[in-house]
Structure 1
Amino acid sequence: MFMNLDNQCYFILRVIVLISCLKNGLADKKCNKIIIDTDAGGDDAVAIAQLILANQIDSPPTEILGITCVAGNTKVENVVVNVLKILRVLNATDIPVFMGANRPLLRNFTFDFFYGQDGLGDVNFPNPPTIFDVQNKSGVNALVDITSQYPGEVTVIALGPLTNIALASRISPDFRSNLKNLHVLGGILDETGTAPNGAEFNFYFDPEAAFTVFNDTTSQIKPVIQLTTDVKYTEMIPLEWRWNTLAKIDSPIIKFFNEIDKKVWQSSRVKYYIPFDGFVAAAFISSDVVVSTERYCEEVLYCGEDNYGKVIVKNDSTCYQNANVIREIDTKVFMNLLINLFSI
């Protein structure tokens, strides 16, 4: 079977990445191997695109070994289709996609459809992919198998609820120790989140999973690299920049984002452009995005509706500081990074 021209181009890019990795030497770990774990809402799409396009700027080569899907912004079947749509727009359909957990570990959850019924703005997408285009292996098993194949080399970037990560750590005692790093979007420390009880959405959706991940982060495990939704900014990003600058870039992925974002960023529910998942990806791509970090010993609460997903910081000096929290990001650097990536 012959590949079409777009897929040939992406295949060539992957070969270039592999050659670059071999040239640099795998032993010194200059090549970034990553797995993206996502619930594929609108800002997840921005993050996924950033991580795919990062190979085309002056940064260490990144190989995306897979994308694992989890229920969160919408049901997991929609998440799978959303990821496949994003990859098609980016001509990156050879990245394997895996279906993961379809619900939280212990409790039921009602989706709020912030990003529309399908989780991606309900935009018209001709000849859309289906869940039958997904890999046969489950997302949880993919996380375990891939990280076992490359111990100490793979970073997992978790953009949604931590259900897949928690399950992987339970079926494989070595899963967390096999990771190079775990980046997480979730939690809120100083302010009030968007969940009904004031928690942050990802941790509220599956508090038991979030508790498991942070509780498993012992002194033998690297701290979670965490971006909370009360992260500080050098300045807020005005919506005018989103629609008058970023939206004007003439590329298929920006046109796709513009359709998605009409559902959220042009509504009265928000005043600024705040793509949290995009911040996580940007911080991974470029350390210049990060202004400051703080180490904390965190515990995620899971007992009682009022406490679901809330984070407490322990001041006990004997408690292992299991979280390295990004406290402030440079939004100017972030905006310039987006322009550079999406103008390619």
Structure 2
Amino acid sequence: MTMAKKLVIIDTDCGIDDAQAIMMALAAPNIQILGITCVFGNAAVENVCQNVLRVLSVCEQEGIPVFRGSGGPLLGDSNSCSDHFGSDGLGDVLEDRDPQWEEKIQREHAVNAMIRLVSENQNQVSLVALGPLTNLALAVRLDPCFPQKLKDLYIMGGNMEGKGNVTICAEFNFATDPESAYIVLEEFLCPTYLASWEYSCRNALTWEFFEELINQDAPAARFMKTITSKCWAYSKEAMMNKRDVYFGPGFVSYDAYAMAACINGSVVTESIECPVRVELQGTMCRGMMALDRTNALKKSHSVFVLSKCDVAKFGQLLMESLRQPRNK
């Protein structure tokens, strides 16, 4: 008997690490991607849509539907896109953009598609959120029952110890739309797994591994080598004064950690089960995630904050992800 595949929706602001995570899901034999929903973040949502289409094309998986979603946060400035992965989200090295890309995007809005796909497959869909949580917050506002129809939720975002990567105390995805992060972590009562910034950084791989990863002989590996070639976020030297200050040297593909947890739960070896809350106030702490390990908030709902990872298994999933397409 063949095992039933795990049904997955990927919500993404497709930068380089999102591309890596999507390819990890495409390579996983136990995963069926129902759709990919796009949100602003690493780039404007129009670039995000094009980036997703490019990844699917490289992996020869263009049958997966792609939906355009939110172009800005629930509140405030929508011009907060990061240049972490270049202005286009994929390292500013790809010149042959598809002029017909909009025709390949579904007409249905990402949030409506998310609600529909989950309603059609109740309690069977794992949602993997790799960008700001705006689409998810809108989904629960349009359909308050949406979270209880999910099987589970995997989020790359937030932080455990008040260490930030875009502000002193907040991680990028949560800092970009704190209200949406707050809504999701208060109202999504399905099993929720959080791959925080610190979790990703503490379970880094070596830069030697990264070289081996991108120098494999396959189209996906060559694509990854190209898009990381001029990106400071994939430079060992550039990271010395940023991430390395907190965590020491290492290669980190942030979004891939959330995806790996979804694909194979045994990749996660330790987690902290506790309530959490996103801070919405303050000049330094807005967007920070607080862990309530003493139940001070008296919340009824806990989440799993991932803390330790089987780095060997994770590395194997990364290696497999760049050996695509399969028929080559």
TM-score by length of 2: 0.89
Shift of 1:277: 0.6
Q: State the partner residue of 2:27.
A: 53
Say which SS state the counterpart of residue 231 (structure 1) adopts: helix
Contact 1:232 1:328 in 2 (8 A): no
Distance in 2 between the 1:342 and 1:121 partners? 17
The list of structure 1 runs, each at least 4 consecutive aligned residues, that deviate by more than 6 angstroms after superposition, is none
Q: State the partner residue of 1:122.
A: 92
> Alpha-carbon deviations, 1:20-77, whole Å to 9, x = none?
7xx65xxxxx42111000000100000000101102xxxxx32111000000111101
Q: State the partner residue of 2:124.
A: 153
Shift of 1:295: 0.6
Return 231-240 or 140-149, whichever deviates more.
Answer: 231-240
1:274 aligned onto 2:274: no
Distance in 1 between the 2:172 and 2:11 partners? 16
Shift of 1:235: 5.8
Letter in 2 for 1:316: N
Shift of 1:267: 5.8
Q: 1:240 aligns with which of 196, 203, 208?
A: 208
Shift of 1:174: 1.3
Distance in 1 between the 2:114 and 2:302 partners? 21
1:299 aligned onto 2:277: yes
Letter in 2 for 1:308: R
Contact 1:289 1:329 in 2 (8 A): yes
Contact 2:126 2:262 in 1 (8 A): no
Q: 1:225 aligns with which of 181, 189, 193?
A: 193
Say which SS state the counterpart of residue 327 (structure 1) adopts: strand
> Alpha-carbon deviations, 1:198-246, whole Å to 9, x = none?
20000000000000001113xxx22321111111778641212211x11
Shift of 1:337: 2.3
Contact 2:178 2:287 in 1 (8 A): yes
| Paired-residue identity, % | 33
Distance in 2 between the 1:36 and 1:282 partners? 13
Shift of 1:282: 1.3
Contact 2:7 2:34 in 1 (8 A): yes
Q: State the partner residue of 2:50.
A: 81
Contact 1:159 1:185 in 2 (8 A): yes
> Alpha-carbon deviations, 1:230-286, whole Å to 9, x = none?
11778641212211x112211111101011112131263224210011111112112
Contact 1:211 1:299 in 2 (8 A): yes
How many residue pairs align between the two structures? 309
1:175 aligned onto 2:149: no
Distance in 2 between the 1:116 and 1:342 partners? 21
Q: State the partner residue of 1:143.
A: 114
Say which SS state the counterpart of residue 92 (structure 1) adopts: coil
How big is the alpha-carbon RMSD for the aligned residues of Structure 1 and Structure 2?
A: 1.9
Q: State the partner residue of 1:316.
A: 295
Q: State the partner residue of 2:246.
A: none
Say which SS state the counterpart of residue 81 (structure 2) adopts: coil
Distance in 2 between the 1:164 and 1:331 partners? 31
Say which SS state the counterpart of residue 306 (structure 2) adopts: strand
Q: Per the alignment, do residues 333 and 234 of structure 1 end up closer, same or farther by CA in structure 2, a change over 3 Å counting?
A: farther
Q: Per the alignment, do residues 195 and 341 of structure 1 end up closer, same or farther by CA in structure 2, a change over 3 Å counting?
A: closer
Contact 2:41 2:82 in 1 (8 A): no
Letter in 2 for 1:291: T
Distance in 1 between the 2:134 and 2:316 partners? 33
1:194 aligned onto 2:173: no
Distance in 2 between the 1:267 and 1:65 partners? 36
Q: 2:223 aligns with which of 242, 253, 256?
A: 256
Contact 2:40 2:72 in 1 (8 A): yes
Distance in 1 between the 2:46 and 2:97 partners? 17
Contact 1:98 1:137 in 2 (8 A): yes
Q: 1:328 aligns with which of 289, 292, 308?
A: 308
Q: State the partner residue of 1:10.
A: none
The unaligned stretches of length 5 or more in structure 1 are 1-19, 25-29, 56-60
Q: Per the alignment, do residues 112 and 62 of structure 1 end up closer, same or farther by CA in structure 2, a change over 3 Å counting?
A: closer
Q: Per the alignment, do residues 332 and 110 of structure 1 end up closer, same or farther by CA in structure 2, a change over 3 Å counting?
A: same
Q: State the partner residue of 1:17.
A: none
Say which SS state the counterpart of residue 63 (structure 2) adopts: coil
Q: Per the alignment, do residues 329 and 136 of structure 1 end up closer, same or farther by CA in structure 2, a change over 3 Å counting?
A: same
TM-score by length of 1: 0.85
Distance in 1 between the 2:115 and 2:203 partners? 39
1:95 aligned onto 2:69: no
The unaligned stretches of length 5 or more in structure 2 are 240-248
Q: 1:112 aligns with which of 52, 73, 82?
A: 82
Letter in 2 for 1:42: I
Say which SS state the counterpart of residue 169 (structure 1) adopts: helix
Contact 1:214 1:322 in 2 (8 A): no
